Amino acid sequence: MRAPILLVSEKVNPSLVDAIRREGLGKLEIDEHLHRAPDALLERARGADVLIFKNLTRVPAAMIEGARRLRLLCRDGIGFENIDIPAATRAGIPIHAPLGANAVSVAEFTVGLAIALAKRLIPAQRSMAEGKWERFQYYGHVTELSGKTAGIVGLGAIGRETAGRLGAFGMRLLAYDPYRTSAGDVPVTLTGLATLLEESDFVLLHAPQTPETVGMIGEAELRSMKPTAFLINVARAPLVDAKALHRALSEGWIAGAATDVYETEPASADDPLGTLPNVIRTPHYAGGTVESTARKAAMNLEDIRRALGGEPIRYYVNIPGPRAV
């Protein structure tokens, strides 16, 4: 009997790879650069039973339609802009994602970025590393979170976890999410995006990338923010107009920004944001704690087992399956 083929097309959670090997779920084929070669990926996917990937692998309709043996698209992470979901649904292929597994990690990271921006921790550390003592560059020039307004764009699992943590700092919380008519037990006031941008001291992006959210923060939106406000993007880079953001930071429309996400990854060394003193950039690891990667690996592994065993999966984006092959 043919062993199932589990194809890994880019670097994924090492805990998941180790677990698959331990359990002997099938033939594990790993090519961390395959996502860069769409034609080769399409050909390799034809013989795969499971495709495991993160955000760099594009999964278009042509690949899905040609992968007749494919029983599961295993998205090792959150965000589905790289997958043709309708095509997968038409083909009867379930899409797995460890939904909610990284919510606490990203929420804590967001709070950390807010504190770092408010307290100017990064420039202060750089100054000290250069042997300088610039106490009064910072003393009396940094701010508290308490009493400030945080505007959360996207009230999904991550947005809700972020709200709970920022509320503990004594912040006023606003939220914009066009798909919610009630905040439920989350301690936020739902409002429109324009109001949120005008009133917030910290604007936190936690929305998914969709045709509606791409470019949602452009020049007009940035100009409407307070000159003392900070923008934090731990969602997806295309939500923000990069050129407009550079102008906003260079010309003082807003006080600063932090981002963990980029249009292309790895981020370009020539990214103009990298030269600005009021920007924090991190290499897309907000959701990658020891705890969250363990949770994701367990959820991924469970659904891989289920798909290979002909059972419906638990953590599905479109349909639970199983696909008949």
Alpha-carbon gap, residue 18 to 225, rounded angstroms: 46
| Residue 284 is a catalytic residue | yes
Active-site residue among 284, 295, 306, 323? 284
| Residue 323 is a catalytic residue | no
Alpha-carbon gap, residue 112 to 160, rounded angstroms: 16
Q: Among all chains, which residue has been given the structure tokens 């100054």?
A: 127
Residue 53, classed as helix, strand or coil, is: strand
| Residue 265 is a catalytic residue | yes
Active-site residue among 44, 120, 206, 236? 236
Active-site residue among 144, 212, 251, 265? 265
Alpha-carbon gap, residue 306 to 299, rounded angstroms: 11
| Phi and psi at residue 136, to the nearest 5° | -85, 5
258 contacts 233 by C-beta, under 8 angstroms: yes
The alpha helices in the chain, defined as continuous H runs, are: 14-23, 38-45, 61-66, 85-91, 103-119, 121-129, 135-138, 157-167, 193-199, 219-224, 242-251, 290-308
Structure tokens given for 4: 């199932």
Residue 190, classed as helix, strand or coil, is: strand
Which residues participate in catalysis according to the annotation?
A: 236, 265, 284
